[in-house]
Chain A
Amino acid sequence: MAPQQRKPHVCRNPDLIRGVGKYSRSKMYHKRGLWAIKAKNGGAFPKHEKKAVAAAPAEKPPKFYPADDVKKPLVNKRKARLTKLRASITPGTVLIILAGRFKGKRVVFLKQLTSGLLLVTGPFKINGVPLRRVNQSYVIATSTKVDISGVNVEKFDDKYFGKQVEKKKKKGEGEFFEAEKEEKNTLPQDKKDDQKSVDAALVKSIEAVPDLKSYLGARFSLKAGMKPHELVF
């Protein structure tokens, strides 16, 4: 019997208090009309036939029992979700980085990557911060916003920032080691070009606002009398 679309029924047995209905079991039996359904079916309640369960193939006892009982780890069905981005951080916000090599630097936020980290750029020409990932917890969001509409950040993701995989295996050390070290230190040219293309549009919109360029070039620091919990950023 396919379920029909019925109008949602008002409760047949209203609560007097929580846990106590107005009508007794026998009254509810009558109200639900179970007597009528039984009568239609000739005295007994209509039953579906049970579906025949296919007989499971006979299992052979296992050939090998491990010596010790190994505990299986508990089932974990949790899924990682994208880190919630603070409401104050929107694309184009100026952020203050609080830790690491660039602590105190004011940078422009571009987008949140799938790992949860924030993609950020100096711009490089202004304060020396390249396209970089930064954790949301190590950042103060200011209320200053930069117009970011001319910048295309589609191509940047976590893999772009991953460590470059070593292709050649190091067999001989000594002379070989020096040669490899030189290769690692220089940035590949395409990354430099990416930086330039992102910064070109950004710098234009930054220069449109007076003093914003020198603001981004300066580092933030707490001076005497500044109380961080009272400051408005």
Chain B
Amino acid sequence: MPFKRYVEIGRIALVNYGKDYGKLVVIVDVIDQNRALVDSPDMVRSQINFKRLTLTDIKIDINRVPKKKTLVAALEAADVKNKWESSSWGRKLIVQKKRASLNDFDRFKVMLAKIKKAGVIRQELANLKKQTTA
């Protein structure tokens, strides 16, 4: 089982602990065995421990420690945002966020929708069963 995601310059990672929890950051330099320099369009470039990062599949093409403008341009060019939001991991996070922000009324509407969907499925199943027995 070889490793597939490596720590390298340009690797996109998800912060999983701390003030910037949930943000996507780019590794722009490696400081030492434990720490990396990370940067993102909406934060100040800072060091972070690898333990606080989870690597993703996405990698962009940048030089070591690019200027902010270059970094933003590279992110745009690689279309990181769309790639992330269409990946299954990214989609799961979006759904989690949406569920957490649901209103009491929204939760009620979701419940109604689930019941309706289940009813339709059960109806179809019943029809199919009838067809096979008939």
Contacts and interface: CB of A to CB of B under 8 A. Distances in A.
Interface of A: 94, 96, 106, 142-144, 211-212, 214-215, 218, 220, 230-233
A60 to B, nearest CB: 73
B104 A214 contact: no
Interface string B15-47: 000000000000000000000000000000000
Contact of B103 (A142, A211, A212, A220): A142
Interface residues on B, range: under 10
Contacts of A218: 108
A146 B103 CA distance: 15
Contacts of A143: 103-104
Contacts of B101: 232
Given A211-B109, A218-B108, 6 more contacts: A211-B105, A211-B108, A212-B105, A214-B108, A214-B112, A232-B101
A96 B103 CA distance: 13
A94 B107 CA distance: 14
Contacts of B102: 232
A66 B97 CA distance: 75
Nearest to A220: B104
B77 interface: no
17 contacts: A142-B104, A142-B105, A143-B103, A144-B103, A144-B105, A211-B109, A214-B108, A215-B105, A215-B108, A215-B109, A218-B108, A220-B104, A230-B100, A231-B104, A232-B101, A232-B103, A233-B103
Contacts, number: 33
A143 B101 CA distance: 12
Contact of A94 (B100, B105, B112): B105
B104 A233 contact: yes
B21 to A, nearest CB: 15
Contacts of B104: 94, 96, 106, 142-144, 220, 231-233
A160 B112 CA distance: 39
Nearest to B105: A144
Nearest to A212: B105
Interface string B63-103: 00000000000000000000000000000000000001111
Nearest to B111: A218
A135 to B, nearest CB: 20
A88 to B, nearest CB: 12
A218 B112 CA distance: 12
Contacts of A233: 103-104
Nearest to A211: B109
B22 to A, nearest CB: 15
A96 B104 CA distance: 10
A211 B109 CA distance: 7
A222 B52 CA distance: 34
Contacts of B108: 211, 214-215, 218
B112 to A, nearest CB: 6
Nearest to A141: B104
A18 B31 CA distance: 51
B108 to A, nearest CB: 5
Given A94-B105, A212-B105, A232 B100 contact: yes
A152 B103 CA distance: 28
A94 B100 CA distance: 20
A220 B108 CA distance: 9
B115 to A, nearest CB: 11
Nearest to A94: B105
Contacts of A211: 105, 108-109, 112
